[in-house]
Structure 1
Amino acid sequence: MTPGARRALTAASRLFYERGIHAVGVELIAAEAGVTKKTLYDRFGSKEQIVVEYLADRDDRWRAYVTEELARAAPNPVDRVLTVFDASRAWMTETSPKGCSMVNAHAEISDPSHPAHAIITGQKHWMLALFSDLVSDLPPDRPAADLARILMLLHEGALVAHGLRIFPDPIGRARDEARALLETRV
């Protein structure tokens, strides 16, 4: 990626997250990045593709972050699940004060034919698969798929509540609920 294209993607990422995808035009992205609209269209082809690359980059960074955190986690399945909640709390505090970028993007892009839709839903499918994998070694008094879905609901609800700022530390609260749920299984 050229330096100008990198600046454009960095500017677009910040603007899309802060202001919303529909509220940001290519003129603003170009101005913020110090590039021409022609540069944007030469590199990305369309605003739609800039959105795709913004979300794909965020998804890649999120998955790498969680994977790194899990690599350092204790091998116990409960601790590994709680590590995901801890990683989410740190990520949201450091990079996402307005909530989950995928959830926010989905509020604007709900059309399954939009190329960014697959990235948004792909991340959430990945999270469900991650929770499914993490609980697969727990005793089978409840199907792992059911438990993974409950954990996903706790996690995603906490991300939304974090962005809404209705009460303090929703991710910590969801983590506590996840711990209580998981401790009944071990």
Structure 2
Amino acid sequence: MGRTPPGAARAKVLKAASTLFYRDGIHAVGVDTVAAEAGVTKAALYGNFGSKTRLVVAYLRDRDRRWQEEIDRITEAHAGPRDRVLAVFDAYEDWLARDDYRGCAFLNATSEFPDPGDPVREVVRHHKTAVRGFLRAQLDRGGRADAETLADELMLLLEGAAVTAVVARTAQPFRTAKRLAETLTA
């Protein structure tokens, strides 16, 4: 194994971890496997992340960043707040179609890290709060007096569709959830 430049090792490890953790589960994948897949030494992995928990946190933060970019990309074409809310449902469906869907990476991580105080759970809370916050902001922009409650209801639709899509192995639950969201936001 040749030397990997310092900045490149972090990116390689994060890319390998993202693939392996999502595909196989976080606890099922050891740091030896991540390092081997990334083509770096364990020392390089630990030098960049310090621990497996910090690697998991970095993986989820990176996934959160990519998800926020996806939401921005899909919703930017929509000027109206309601249309932007409904476009989030399209973003979920689009992600499912592109990503060998094993469910929501954040919900999956929550099931593997049951302690509410775990740093992994903090990242999950941040992600879910950000998605809800986006919905709430759009509903506020649209002048909805029920924005708080409606944001909660839309999150339930999204999360329920995400779980149901795993079981059904189809994007149909997102289409159904969007139809319900259209009714709720009318």
* Stretches (4+) displaced over 4 A: none
Map of 1:95 onto structure 2: 99
Task: Give the counterpart of 1:37 among 20, 39, 42.
Answer: 42
Q: Does the aligned pair in 1 maintain the 2:12–2:38 contact within 8 Å?
A: yes
- Conserved 8 A contact 1:77-1:138: no
Contact 2:97 2:171 (C-alpha < 8 Å) held by counterparts: no
Distance 2:153 2:100 in 1: 23
Counterpart AA for 2:36:
A
User: With structure 2 as the length reference, what TM-score do the two structures score?
Assistant: 0.90
Name the structure 2 match of 1:164. 167
Q: 1:104 to 1:176 in 2, by over 3 A?
A: same
Taking a change above 3 Å as real, the CA distance of residues 144 and 9 of structure 1, as seen in their structure-2 partners, is same
1:80-132: CA deviation from partner (whole Å, max 9, x where unpaired): 11111011110121125111111111111132332221110111111111111
**Corresponding residue for residue 111 of structure 2:** 107
**For 1:55-94, what aligned pairs fall within 5 Å after superposition?**
55-73=60-78, 75-94=79-98
1:50 aligns with 2:52: no
Q: Is the 8 A contact 1:55 1:102 kept in 2?
A: yes
Query: Partner of 2:130 in structure 1?
Result: 126
1:141-162 per-position Cα deviation (integer Å, ceiling 9, x unaligned): xx21111111110011111111
The answer as to 2:2 corresponding to 1:26 is no
Contact 2:60 2:106 in 1 (8 A): yes
Q: Please name the residue that 2:19 is paired with.
A: 14
Q: Which amino acid aligns with 1:34?
A: G
Contact 1:100–1:159 (CA under 8 A) maintained in structure 2: yes
Relative to structure 1, the CA distance from residue 126 to residue 96 in structure 2 (aligned partners, 3 Å threshold; closer, same or farther) is farther
Alignment of 1:180 with 2:183, yes or no, is yes
- What amino acid sits opposite 1:81 in the alignment? V
TM-score (norm 1): 0.90
1:114 and 1:145 mapped to 2: Cα distance? 27
Structure 1 Cα separation of the partners of residues 82 and 159 of structure 2: 18
Alpha-carbon distance change, 28 to 166 in structure 1, aligned in 2, over 3 angstroms: closer
Q: Which amino acid aligns with 2:50?
A: G
Q: Cα gap change, 1:121/1:42 in structure 2, threshold over 3 Å: closer, same or farther?
A: same
State the SS of the aligned residue for 2:84.
Answer: helix
**What stretches of structure 1 of length at least 5 have no aligned partner?**
none
